[in-house]
Amino acid sequence: MAEISDVFFVDGVRTPFGRAGEKGMYWNTRADDLAVKATIGLMERNAAVPADRIDDVAIAATSQTGDQGLTLGRSVAILAGLPQTVPGLAVERMCAGAMTSVTTMGASIGVGMYDFALAGGVEHMGHHPIGGNADPNPRFVAEKMVDPGALNMGVTAERIFDRFPHLTKERSDRFGMLSQHKVQAAYDAGKIQPDLVSVATKGADGAWGLATEDEGRRPQTTMEDLAALKTPFRPHGRVTAGTSSPLTDGATMSLLAGGGAVKEFGLAPKMRMVSFAFAGVQPEIMGIGPIPSTEKALKKAGLTIDDIGLFELNEAFAIQVISLLDHFGIADDDPRVNQWGGAIALGHPLAASGVRLMIQLAPDVRYGLTAMCVGLGQGGSVIWENPHYDGKKKKK
């Protein structure tokens, strides 16, 4: 008989993230193959878990068409060599796709229906530009349900500046610069590389290469560089390429397990899921979405923001992260926030990013938070606990 279970994040991996477009390293690589590579890498790294014990595979993509279509969870499971007894599904919640894959599979584990699940996401923004295959219902605009600008994420970011004038462009620029610096420091310290699965790539000239690290980093970024950038979303605006996540290709995958399965196979999970929540806000200012979703998740967990010792906040735009920090009274440069940098430097392959946040969180403190804004006016938050916390540091 099924029993309520704890939900554990056992492990997670990702491909290196590449620049979207013809000059990017994945231009000649299929989206589903990126997800296959991440899946194989994860299973190889967790060989103690029998493949036939995986109860389900959930893979998210925002544009579910072409090489990102065909029920990704199932097709990737087959392509990755999992037994044909392993089922799969596709998930779509725009930027929070992989996060929703994790919470959906986690909920299934939590009610005792699953022992193990794979959850992740993929986005090939070079092959599938955001909104490229979408046909928004004309009622949105005709009936004034949603302003046309709400479908342009950069425009919604500019509106956060409008609503909160004390959140200045200089603060945003500084946050963007520090993200680049922190990512390079994390690379120099060998923090990021262990969770990357290398991908064979093929150039325009037919030559093969190997993607081993994130492609879009700009570690030499200065405040002067950022101040000189154009503001593409509004004349004399405040959002620039230097304070936005670049268009990116990549895939992520995680292994989730219930308490019984962890015990059965003697696993050492990295995190336990404490609570999660999603919330809706005005689509026109979607970047504030993680504020109400975080408040909901904290309430469900019986915690306050002061209990959170580490934050992994998706840097869709610097101003979006700063608005959440400001709401909760956290300094822009608080060392608990995005300690290894974030999406401004690494990239944000939409539906893949949620698991990238989780990979980088794995807290040495007791509680950590992963949170992100979501297109069309949503936010998603997951609170995690370190199962090895002893009041000091995580036991190795």
Active site residue 128: no
Question: Between vectors from CA 83 to CA 81 and to CA 85, what angle results, nearest 5°?
Answer: 145
Active site residue 181: no
Q: For residues 217 and 183, give the distance between their C-alpha atoms in angstroms, rounded to a whole number.
A: 8
Distance of CA 393 to the CA centre of its chain: 25
Three-class DSSP category at 241: helix
| 228 CB burial (10 A radius; 0-12, 13-18, 19+) | exposed
**Rounded alpha-carbon distances, angstroms, from residue 340 to 72, 187, 328, 381:** 30, 9, 21, 19
Which among 316, 320, 297 has a CA at the least distance from the CA of 367?
297
> Which position among 95, 124, 127, 128 bears the catalytic label?
95
Q: For residues 124 and 270, give the distance between their C-alpha atoms in angstroms, rounded to a whole number.
A: 28
Which among 33, 211, 245, 26 has a CA at the least distance from the CA of 127?
26
Which among 315, 317, 318, 310 has a CA at the least distance from the CA of 339?
310
CB atoms near residue 364 (< 10 Å): 15
Q: For residues 160 and 373, give the distance between their C-alpha atoms in angstroms, rounded to a whole number.
A: 12
Distance of CA 385 to the CA centre of its chain: 18
132 contacts 73 by C-beta, under 8 angstroms: no
Query: Which residues are CB-neighbours of 176 under 8 A, at least 6 positions away?
Result: 221, 226, 242, 243, 318, 344
Supply 186's token pair: 């994390």
> Which position among 124, 327, 348, 388 bears the catalytic label?
348
CB atoms near residue 98 (< 10 Å): 36
Query: Which residues are CB-neighbours of 354 under 8 A, at least 6 positions away?
Result: 60, 95, 96, 97, 98, 99, 100, 101, 102, 121, 252, 314, 370, 372, 380
Pairing of strands 378-385, 271-280: antiparallel
> Which position among 124, 127, 128, 373 bears the catalytic label?
373
Side chain identity at 79, as an amino acid letter? Answer: L
Kindly list the catalytic residues: 95, 348, 373
